[in-house]
Structure 1
Amino acid sequence: MKRLLKGIILTIILTINPKAQTFDPLYKDSIQLKWVDEKYNSMTLEEKVGQLFIVAAYTNKDSIHENDILKLIQQEKIGGLIFMQDQAVKQIELTNKFQSISKIPLLIGVDGEWGLAMRLKNVERFPWNMTLGALRDNELVYRVGKQIGIQANRVGIQFNFAPSVDVNVNPNNPIIGNRSFGSNPDRVAEKGIAYMNGMKSQNVLSSAKHFPGHGNTDQDSHKVLPLIPDNKQDLEKYHIAPFKKMIAAGVQSVMVAHLNVPALEPDPKTPSTLSKKIITDYLKGELGFRGIVITDALNMDGVAKMFAPGEVDYRAFVAGNDILLFSQNVKLGKQKIIEAINKGEISEVRLEESVKKILKAKYITGLNDFKPLNPTNVFDDLNSPENLALTTKIFEKATTVVKNNDKTLPIKKVNQKIAFVPLEQTDYDQFLTHLQKYANVELVNVKDPSQINLLNEYDVVITGAFLSNETVYKPYKLSANSKAILSALPKDKKKILSLFTSPYGLKDLDLSNLDAVTVQYQNTKDAQTAAAQVIFGAIDSEGTLPVDINANLKEGQGIVTKHIKRLGFTAPENVGLGKKNFQK
């Protein structure tokens, strides 16, 4: 009778809301549902509520931390872990240990937007989303998702809290920026779906974040509660649009951000993470999402400053979240939720909805048959030749030419006198080395505009602006001195700039004195090699700007230049010469 009643309620909901998701993104088969029912029915109320919680685990902390996690697993029956910093072998060892003592397998998650390098030492990074956003070929984005999925499987991770599908329309955004695929919602959705499908091919869960969109703010939700000023029409047109498309494409999870969104929640003291209007009424109701709704980390000040640990967990569950991420007080949070259930303030049907979603996710990722992990050769596997070759290819394909007066690029005459002038940082060796593979390019250090006369004897001046690639959040603006040098370059020379940072570095840069400009998005060896090859015509330039920069440089712009049959340099795997090709 109870099942019949639930079926009738679901039918009514779908009739009222024709836009509701017509499929369950967590469904696999009837065997899965049987396993889910068996596990659910075997649990006590405390164990069911414990499934809602994912807590942070570290591999660089002491035995006290490890014992704290063991207690949470054994006593509080938590549902999963999010691994933070930073040792791969230790993580595998802990995963085996933690899984072995958990009655219900633990769902292991990670923030791995550009792969496990985001959390683990000695692992090579995949390019940031902004770089992926410049690609014309979404198959490469799919392959990134697939390889990250392979990485995740290798260390026992089932849930990658990615991709970020925030539409970055504010260049001053301190927390999204390079983590965004771009400023066009269609571009962002296409890349996000490709990334998601790549991970899904490896049975790794993805989570579209940060709902309802963190792209139009200059504030960081780790520190404050950012305001999203858009009205509902603009919010849906630009920021929610990628989430709608990912829901339609079968994304299994949506992560809700800590934001003040007046268009959807009129109370400025109710963050989106704790808003029933945003989660239950809008995301689950109006948008009809049937997958897992997960909070952004509950230790972030955007929400943690407003409510105490335990209280914030309770409010997040009441709002409609299924998973409470990075809980700071599991015991108290559980108590508050259990008390509300016992008082009838939260129905057991509501709890069952969330717990069964979590159990379905555990089944489709293989946790119904968990096998211990082997740490042997883990770094060889995480840094596979396929991964490194893919990264090389992406930087080649992402290279974007935004100016090319009189077909300055590619340089055809290699017997000209060519100078290279580095700007900002000094980590330019890879760029210079590859420039010199094609011509006698001379390094000329111009410290300020007064030394421009050092360039008088040259025909071509190649400049490179090298900014920090240490983290995704590093500044992208060129110094006043670098800008002055670019403006002072001799008018009678061919002048080329390669920008090794975010495309927003062009925002207030005067390009009028330059003949050609390439954007490389990041300052890596692969990016430097690709830039040199485009300049001398060893490879094509195919990239397009993923974001609007200013009135003259718009999203989608990118001048295609063709190679002129000069020798190129790439990973062996990209030309069919990898080890696997010879092992067949």
Structure 2
Amino acid sequence: MKKYLIAIITSFSFFSSSYAQEYNAINLTESPLYVDSLQMKWVDEKYNSLSLDEKVGQLFIVAAYSNRDAAHEEEILKLIQEEKIGGLIFMQDQAVKQIDLTNRYQSTSKIPLIIGVDGEWGLAMRLKGVERFPWNMTMGALEKEDLVYQAGVQIGKQANRMGIHFNFAPTVDVNVNPNNPIIGNRSYGSDAKNVGLKGSAFMRGQQSMKVLASAKHFPGHGDTDQDSHKTLPLISANKSDLEKYHVAPFRELINNGVQAVMVAHLNVPALEPDPKIPSTLSKKIVTDYLKGDLNFKGIVITDALNMDGVAKMFAPGDVDYKAFLAGNDMLLFSQGVKVGKQKIIAAIEKGEISENRLAESVKKILMAKYLVGLNNFQPLHANNVFEDLNSEQNSALTYKIYEEATTVTKNSNNVLPITDVTAKIAFVPLEQTDYKIFHDHLKKYADVKLVKIDNASQINKLNEFDYVIYGAFLSNETVYKSYKLSATSKAILKSTPADKKSILTLFTSPYGLKDLDLSSIDGVVVNYQNTDQTKQIAPQIIFGAIPAKGKLPVTVNEKIKYGDQVKTQAIQRLGFDEPANVGVEKKN
């Protein structure tokens, strides 16, 4: 019996030591988080002052809310004080309360907390009363990257104002599937190079404001019709295609110094053959491929660990432990901090995980905290917070992005711009009824009549007109709203008389063109989003006050493809703009 016990212990010891020896430490001065020797001195001092329990606590980020009760706030305080967590992700939704809570939480933490947020289109993604920046799909239509860089800067300024150090953006998934339920408008498009260039520009802008950027969702969530919040999506591409079409933007950002990469919950057979191991929990994907093959030396952070892509498979705490084993540095949205910590500590004490492996993750986290200024945390104030978050510069930049992105994909017989303002012109609204701003701006150029058509049988209402301008207005409420036009709208467009000069202006994703019969339509203008600003811009392009410059960021179908672009010319007509774009201060 003793011989067998000795054999078992020896075998276990061999397994533990070989696992520990498998870890290869990186040179932290080569990390994109590295600042200088003073940073490393601070990092070493803080690291050496922490107990093992406190070091492991730094790995965990938990969700905090500004619209919940005192019990929730006490729960967060308890995690900070007893479990020594490393950071928080604020989810929603009150800016002033969030500032108050940030000050309160920071004051109780031995090591300042890193505060994160999902702010892909600015803090409007999580905070009420804050104006949105354009979605990535819109910015993907820009010919150049300078406005994307500026958006990164301005969102970085918003984060600075709210004491946020880590924005989980940009999304650099290449959206090649129009039926993708979770990425869609969050993607810069269906071309890997364009996505990489736009994502890099955003990242550089944000990081210039000392806000950590996180390229997500590695190794690419764009080629699926499933949502990892609800299930474990399959990415079926072979390794060659995966790298060419989906990993390429991540490689671009890594080469340009992105400070963090977020790993998605995906089934990726090309990189991890075991379908029971999600990418987040795969050592082959996180350690061997991302850290090894791609040589990434920044922070590797999990996607939220409460998502069903992993949460249905593994219990809270256990999933955290497995994610750390795989090679992740930060464990986002943990729902089992205490259990997860105990499992990681036990594995270290048994020699299954080396302390050097822990040191690398914790020191990278401390490097990030120094980089964003948490070595000298200053309390926040709420004075004029909404004026700061909704600055004139933000509004002007948003307007400029919409203007430069607006894309003409069809212009038969040079129907655009309309030069004859004495012609009889009808405006037919489709879908929603929020068309007043658009119609008012059309009327600034010509006597454009509103004609309401309820179904295709009423198309004879257009008989007396020379031109018909259709406006398809779909919901801009959230990034996930459907882009599909109704059967009634499709039938009206299809029945457009051939003798009419017709223009469709689409106020939604370009995927809205996917199943339209546009054979009777002469001109197509894609505005990407349904906002007050886009409804002011589209009429200017239709009548030639400004040129169309945008380029289609996605392949929609066999006829409408990535890169489609018809440039139109301005023809000496009065245009409109935000005051800040023309050097005028807005007066209240």
Q: TM over 0.5, yes or no?
A: yes
Partner of 1:3: none
In structure 2, what is the Cα distance between the partners aligned to 1:419 and 1:477?
A: 24
- 1:165-207 deviations in Å (ceiling 9; x for gaps): 0000000000000000011110000000000011011100000
Runs of 4+ in structure 1 deviating by more than 6 angstroms, as ranges, are 9-14
* 1:512 is aligned to 2:519: yes
Q: What does residue range 206-245 of structure 1 map to in structure 2 within 5 Å? A: 206-245=213-252
Partner of 2:480: 473
Q: What does residue range 145-224 of structure 1 map to in structure 2 within 5 Å? A: 145-224=152-231
Q: TM-score, normalised by structure 1?
A: 0.96
In structure 1, what is the Cα distance between the partners aligned to 2:401 and 2:536?
A: 12
Among 22, 33, 45, the alignment partner of 1:38 is 45
* 1:281 is aligned to 2:285: no
Task: Give identity over the alignment, percent.
Answer: 71
Among 420, 430, 445, the alignment partner of 1:423 is 430
* One-letter amino acid of the structure 2 residue matched with residue 262 of structure 1: P
Partner of 1:296: 303
Q: TM-score, normalised by structure 2?
A: 0.95
Partner of 2:443: 436
Partner of 2:372: 365
Asked if the contact 1:538–1:568 (Cα under 8 Å) also holds between the matched residues in 2, the reply is yes
Asked if the contact 1:132–1:394 (Cα under 8 Å) also holds between the matched residues in 2, the reply is yes
Among 98, 110, 113, the alignment partner of 1:103 is 110
- 1:364-388 deviations in Å (ceiling 9; x for gaps): 0000011011100000000000001
* One-letter amino acid of the structure 2 residue matched with residue 330 of structure 1: V
Asked if the contact 2:156–2:211 (Cα under 8 Å) also holds between the matched residues in 1, the reply is yes
- 1:471-512 deviations in Å (ceiling 9; x for gaps): 101111111110100011121110000001110011111111
Among 535, 550, 553, the alignment partner of 2:542 is 535
Q: What does residue range 37-56 of structure 1 map to in structure 2 within 5 Å? A: 37-56=44-63
SS in 1 for 2:30: coil
* 1:497 is aligned to 2:504: yes
* One-letter amino acid of the structure 2 residue matched with residue 220 of structure 1: D
In structure 1, what is the Cα distance between the partners aligned to 2:395 and 2:93?
A: 20
Partner of 1:562: 569
In structure 1, what is the Cα distance between the partners aligned to 2:572 and 2:250?
A: 43
Report the Cα offset of residue 13 of structure 1. Answer: 8.4
In structure 2, what is the Cα distance between the partners aligned to 1:576 and 1:42?
A: 52
Asked if the contact 1:21–1:248 (Cα under 8 Å) also holds between the matched residues in 2, the reply is no
* One-letter amino acid of the structure 2 residue matched with residue 59 of structure 1: S
Partner of 1:121: 128
- 1:95-132 deviations in Å (ceiling 9; x for gaps): 01111111000000000000000000000000000000
* 1:132 is aligned to 2:132: no
Asked if the contact 1:99–1:106 (Cα under 8 Å) also holds between the matched residues in 2, the reply is yes
For the aligned residue pairs, the C-alpha RMSD in angstroms reads 1.5
Report the Cα offset of residue 219 of structure 1. Answer: 0.2
* 1:398 is aligned to 2:405: yes
Asked if the contact 2:28–2:364 (Cα under 8 Å) also holds between the matched residues in 1, the reply is no
In structure 2, what is the Cα distance between the partners aligned to 1:22 and 1:435?
A: 58
In structure 1, what is the Cα distance between the partners aligned to 2:546 and 2:29?
A: 45
In structure 2, what is the Cα distance between the partners aligned to 1:27 and 1:364?
A: 8
Asked if the contact 1:21–1:247 (Cα under 8 Å) also holds between the matched residues in 2, the reply is no
Report the Cα offset of residue 12 of structure 1. Answer: 8.7
Change (3 A) 1:118 1:482: same
Asked if the contact 1:294–1:323 (Cα under 8 Å) also holds between the matched residues in 2, the reply is yes
- 1:226-265 deviations in Å (ceiling 9; x for gaps): 0000000000001000001100000000000000000000
Asked if the contact 1:314–1:337 (Cα under 8 Å) also holds between the matched residues in 2, the reply is yes
SS in 2 for 1:31: helix
In structure 2, what is the Cα distance between the partners aligned to 1:51 and 1:22?
A: 20
- 1:278-311 deviations in Å (ceiling 9; x for gaps): 0001000111100000000000001000000000
* One-letter amino acid of the structure 2 residue matched with residue 73 of structure 1: I
In structure 2, what is the Cα distance between the partners aligned to 1:192 and 1:207?
A: 10
Q: How many residues end up aligned between the 2 structures?
A: 567
Report the Cα offset of residue 22 of structure 1. Answer: 9.3
Partner of 1:488: 495
Partner of 2:9: none
* One-letter amino acid of the structure 1 residue matched with residue 300 of structure 2: V
Asked if the contact 1:54–1:323 (Cα under 8 Å) also holds between the matched residues in 2, the reply is yes
SS in 1 for 2:220: coil
Among 336, 347, 350, the alignment partner of 1:343 is 350
Which ranges of structure 2 fall in alignment gaps of 5 or more residues?
1-20
